[in-house]
Amino acid sequence: MKKRYIRTLTPVIIVAVVLAIIFRTHLFASYVVNGESMEPTLYDGNLLMVNKVVYNLTDIDRFDIIVFHANQQNDYVKRVVGLPGDELVYENDKLYVNGEYVPEEFLEPFQNVNEHQPYTEDFTLEGITGSAKVPEGKLFVLGDNRGDSLDSRNIGFINIEQLVGKVDIKYWPFSEVSANS
């Protein structure tokens, strides 16, 4: 009886392991946040589950949190602010996309902390990149910690082909588990 149970269970375990390996290597990746550039949304040491196939099925949305290859050694996690064709202006702590104000609700609790200094310094896309609009095939990304983030204001546009995927779940520490939509 025990032998039959083991014979029945063995293929199930093998299939489960193979599916887990495929699932892990091709559909999702696990990342550790390194640094403070996405605070207060993500903190140094948070563990993230990144969906590697979502953008094969859907479009990238403004304010998605993404992971991308910054160079051969480093991957960065940032928030998408500008999509291809967008004209961006940041003025008086407000984001304007194509001339219209777009609220960044995730930043509102932090924007009015210091009355004498804006949370995000004023900029125009043209003033940073020399281009009035985000080019086709590119993204403009910012860290949520606007005063301490290495993002498109410093490194320029991100090529869509550099994307690893969308951050779907923050799963560590357990007290901060959350899913991004």
Read off the CATH number of the domain in which 108 is found: 2.10.109.10
* Confidence band for 181, pLDDT divided at 50, 70 and 90: low
**pLDDT higher than 80, residue 68:** yes
Residue 43, domain extent: 2-179
* Confidence band for 28, pLDDT divided at 50, 70 and 90: confident
Dist. CA 138–CA 84, nearest whole Å: 6
* Confidence band for 98, pLDDT divided at 50, 70 and 90: very high
* Confidence band for 82, pLDDT divided at 50, 70 and 90: very high
Backbone angle region of 143, left / alpha / beta, with phi > 0 → left and psi within -120 to 50 → alpha: beta
**pLDDT higher than 90, residue 173:** no
- Please work out, in degrees rounded to the nearest 5, the angle formed at the alpha carbon of residue 139 by the alpha carbons of 137 and 145: 170
Tally the domains of the chain. 1
42-61 confidence digits (pLDDT tens): 889 888 888 888 777 789 99
111-137 confidence digits (pLDDT tens): 766 667 888 899 999 888 888 899 999
Dist. CA 100–CA 14, nearest whole Å: 54
Active site residues: 37, 78
Q: Supply the pLDDT for residue 135.
A: 96
Which of 179, 153, 146 is CA-nearest to residue 40?
146
CA quadruple 114, 103, 88, 57: dihedral sign: positive
Q: Supply the pLDDT for residue 114.
A: 67
